[in-house]
A and B are shown apart, each in its own frame.
Chain A
Amino acid sequence: MDVLNVLLWLPVVVGVVCFAAPRGAARWVAVAGALATLALAIVLVADFQSGAPGLQHVVDEAWIPDLGVRYQLGVDGISIFLVLLTALLWAGATAFSALRAYPADVSRSRFYYFLLGLAETAALGAFVAQDLLLFVLFFDLMLVPFFFLIGTFGSGDRVAATTKMIVYTLVGSLLMLVAAIATAILAADEIGHLTFSIAELRTHVLPEGSQDWIFCFFAAAFLVKMPAVPIHGWMPDAYRAAPLPVLALLSGVLSKVGAYGFLRVVLPIYPDATIQFQELILVIALVGILYGSAMAFTQTNVRLIAGYSSIAQLGFITAGIFALRGDGADGAVLQMVNHGLVVAPIFLIIAVLADRSGTEDLREMGGLARRAPVLTALFLIVTLATLAMPGSANFVGEFYILNGLFQAKIAYAVVAAIGVALAAFYALRLFQRTMHNRLAEGTVSREISVREAVVIAPMVAVIVALALYPGLILERGEASVQANTGPVLASTR
């Protein structure tokens, strides 16, 4: 059995096993499953042939032959590290939940860990699917567990928040379903048979008129998922309501699926429309950078500070992709992983901080560093990585992106560069207001406990490791990025 198949289905199988486990043990079964998945993902990376642009570990079987849908999986240099990121963050979030005995209501814990497993399978599926329809299927499937995770286990106005999130994101992705079907049917005339295989579809470029509306449908789905600025309305509510470990996944992994979709699907299959809409998407990306940074600087809810900073970061990633140059896209791939790596620990640290200060309002926090040097150090590393301090992998990523953008569209690059400076403002503000200043009322400064450190410290260690050797991703990603941006580059010249 192929390792990719096992990796993909292991989490949901473990999730089902959780139901059979005794109530108290379900969380440990889930942790074991998430760690095993992570181990498999590491094996996959170790096994990866760098420099090869094509797919590796390909699984290709008929699924619904009458509809032209195949069960096609594979990883290349772009998806391999997103798979690793997914497995890593899921292991972290699952372990963090388990160690803190979350959810408090033990009778519901089996349901919680089952949903986490299902969500991991769906997210991994979106990254490894090589059939356009399978990709759409996993893309939509992700919503189901997150709907329950936020609606059942969230806080505040959770039902309204989760419904809003689902409706927003499905509005995009159902149109994407129509667009995917239209792509296959339009291409079928040329290819000779109905197929959704991404590899086959990209060999036949659709006429420009069809590309345009299909591009818009795909872009809508991906931009809502990220979220990008004019269509980010679901984000604040969902971020307020979601449990923090779930939020770490939502922000760390799910937002990347949108950006990944642009690279995997849109650029190779719809190159002409991509060029046509390049400036529009770049404007959206820049608005996201500026608006996200400004909001992150003014919000007082710590979750929303991290949430809006994600919008800004995803603006960078989108801009990198739509520079339509190899170096911009290289940087975007690196930055996708970087952002996931920093934003997930931030949300977990927020959970730790909220414990100590009893609030998630920045105005009522402060002085947490006093007796907690280790916690402070960990948070500082993450903060510096977030603001793309030279020496961090985020710096390398942003450098590549800006470099690509400068060469492509210099005006946009100038504006984007402002965003780099703004990141320092909001990231440092979050750090200072929580860790420094006077000890706020009702706040206890306590050192990070072993149970928390066991999860957060390794994640921070990964950030440091990647800062030392960003080439790990760049070297393996480059060939695949070239392969995926090739059709667009050929058209721009």
Chain B
Amino acid sequence: MSFTAPDIDYAGMSPVIALTAGIVVVLIVGAFSSRRQRVLTSIVSLATLGAAAGLCIWQWGEDKDLVSGALRSDELGLAAALLAIVAAAFVIPLAWREEAFDPARGPAGQGEFQALLLSSVLGMVLIAQAQNLIAFFVALELLSVPLYVMCGAARLREASLESGLKYLIVGSLGSATLLYGLAFIYGASGSTDFAGIAEGIGSGLADDPLVLIGIALAATGLAFKLSVAPFHQWTPDVYQGALTPVTAFMAVATKAAVFAVLVRFFEVALGPAASDWRPALAALAAISIAVGNVGALGQDSLKRLLGYSGVAQAGYMLVGVVAFTEAGVSALVFYLAAYTLMNLAAFAVITVRERQTTFGDDIRAVEGLGRDSPAQAAALTISMLGLAGLPGTAGFIGKLFLIEAAVDSDYTWLGIAIAIGTMISLAYYLRVIAAIWMRPGDEPAPADRGGLPAMAGGSPEADRAGRCRAIVGLALIAAAATVVFGIVPSPLVDWASAAGDSIAGLLP
């Protein structure tokens, strides 16, 4: 009996390998170094993410199947992977010594936090490339389970634990629903491979009840993960309870990765049944736009506000999938990139405000920010203007891209829904901006929270100021990128179009 070793494409797998190795190194470093372990684990994590990003860029443009067709390395997957990696790399400095500000808030452990973050990124990289039901589900769990833990990472704080538990229960429900749906689809088509499913459904199974039930359950499960209304109820609570850096990561990276697999699963595997799922996803998009935007009105907690705004934004992005065209996928990827930049800037500023004021993430924390800290104010303002889709920001180009895709595929009413949702959204985005610039703060921000442990090599005050400067710097970079891509969008448009093109050949 002869045995041929499977041919492993190490180049294609290299981002995955790098991340896996990084996780192991982070855990070892965390276990063995005690004094400066937090700095070291963060540095190793950043290096890992840098390497993974570099390898993704290296693999850019080489479309190929990996692991016997379970994964596909193409621009769509790599683009989503890059977004997840960028988000994680952004979040590590945000979480840097968070516990120094409030022992009850910071993540526990010695490097576990960073290792969990990297594991989640690994799951995202895999799911963005998955084209097989098994790989799809395993990767989804790999990205979700670390997130459940990270939400509860501040184990001395009740809100964080509640958030973790809530996310665990709802997330598991979503996963179970999805898994049930995938089983139906496998049962109908007889294949776990996306191409095989397409073939199976294409042979006259599009109206088969098994397939319809499978599509409905799978869409529901993914809607839970993407916090698409009406499956979004967990979002504001979990966002508010989790540590702000974790919220930032969850809001941004999860969306990028899950939207990538959503595109691949629905447009490639279920493409022949498009007439079944397109109206359903269109309805979900419209509901999400309405519910998210209305829910965000009157929220005083900025994290809850961004949670609801994320529900609405997920609705906008779903329009790109509904379009079921190359342009729709490009629009989705562009919007994901813009959304990543805008949200990271906002969450970075919120992190700083939580440290510098006693208001937490309440909108009062940003009152008078324009006077006290113009840099933070500018970053948050640009982020809000971008999320509202005003011209001069990448958010405007993103909405333009999405509406164009919607109108082009005869879903003009969804384009109008985006426009109406945007109008409603102005009421809450502008409220934040008005608080920043147009209300004098009660008093100069109470700088000292008290109870800071002294650190070697400098006064706590100087150290804190320096650390926040780094985060504000990151926020400004993200905000500046939002404006630059709003004025010179071509590089980002080309990048997103490459992702759209890569899937074009697979579309029926």
Chain A residues engaging chain B, CB cutoff 8 angstroms: 63-67, 69, 107, 111, 133, 137-138, 140-141, 143-144, 147-148, 151-152, 158-159, 162-163, 166-167, 170-171, 174-175, 177-178, 181-182, 184-185
Contacts and interface: CB of A to CB of B under 8 A. Distances in A.
B407 A185 contact: yes
A166 B427 CA distance: 9
Contacts of B434: 151, 159, 162-163
A147 B434 CA distance: 9
A64 B426 contact: no
A159 B438 contact: yes
Residue from A140, A147, A152 having most chain B Cβ neighbours under 10 A:
A147
Nearest to B402: A181
Residue from B385, B419, B426 having most chain A Cβ neighbours under 10 A:
B419
B390 A140 contact: yes
B493 A144 contact: no
B391 A64 contact: no
Given A144-B392, A185-B404, A166 B430 contact: yes
Interface in B422-437: 422-423, 426-427, 430-431, 433-434, 437
B423 A170 contact: yes
Interface stretch (B3-11, B393-401, B444-452): B393-401
A64 B490 contact: yes
Interface residues of B, number: 38
Interface in B349-396: 370-371, 385, 390-392, 396
A159 B436 CA distance: 11
Given A133-B400, A181-B407, 17 more contacts: A63-B489, A64-B489, A66-B330, A107-B371, A140-B396, A141-B391, A148-B437, A152-B438, A167-B426, A174-B419, A175-B416, A177-B399, A177-B403, A177-B419, A181-B404, A181-B415, A182-B415
Interface of B: 330, 370-371, 385, 390-392, 396-397, 399-401, 403-404, 407-408, 412, 415-416, 418-420, 422-423, 426-427, 430-431, 433-434, 437-439, 489-490, 493-494, 497
A159 B370 CA distance: 15
Given A152-B437, A178-B403, A143 B427 contact: no
B400 A177 contact: yes
Residue from A64, A66, A138, A182 having most chain B Cβ neighbours under 10 A:
A66
A178 B400 contact: no
B430 A178 contact: no
A166 B422 CA distance: 12
B500 to A, nearest CB: 9
A137 B415 contact: no
Contacts of B426: 163, 166-167, 170
A141 B423 contact: no
A67 B400 contact: yes
Contacts of A159: 434, 438-439
A143 B438 CA distance: 16
Contacts of B390: 140-141, 143-144
Contacts of A163: 426-427, 430-431, 434
Contacts of B370: 111, 152
A162 B423 CA distance: 15
Nearest to B489: A64
14 contacts: A63-B490, A64-B489, A67-B401, A141-B391, A143-B390, A159-B438, A162-B434, A170-B422, A170-B426, A177-B403, A178-B415, A181-B404, A185-B404, A185-B407
A175 B419 contact: yes
Contacts of B401: 67
A158 B438 contact: yes
Contacts of A166: 426, 430
A142 B264 CA distance: 40
A175 B399 CA distance: 12
B476 to A, nearest CB: 14
A246 to B, nearest CB: 14
Contact of B423 (A137, A171, A184): A171
A125 to B, nearest CB: 10
A174 B404 contact: no
A254 B65 CA distance: 56
A182 B403 CA distance: 9
Contacts of A174: 419-420, 422-423
A159 B392 CA distance: 22
Nearest to A183: B407
B386 to A, nearest CB: 11
Closest 9 CB pairs of A and B: A174-B419, A141-B391, A137-B391, A151-B438, A159-B434, A140-B391, A178-B415, A159-B438, A185-B407
A413 B274 CA distance: 56
A143 B422 CA distance: 15
Contacts of A182: 407, 412, 415
Nearest to B424: A167
A174 B490 CA distance: 23
Contacts of B493: 64, 66-67
Contacts of A158: 438
Nearest to B409: A185
A228 to B, nearest CB: 19
B498 to A, nearest CB: 11
Nearest to B421: A174
A159 B408 CA distance: 38
Contacts of A147: 430, 433
B392 A141 contact: yes
A178 B419 contact: yes
A167 to B, nearest CB: 6
B492 to A, nearest CB: 10
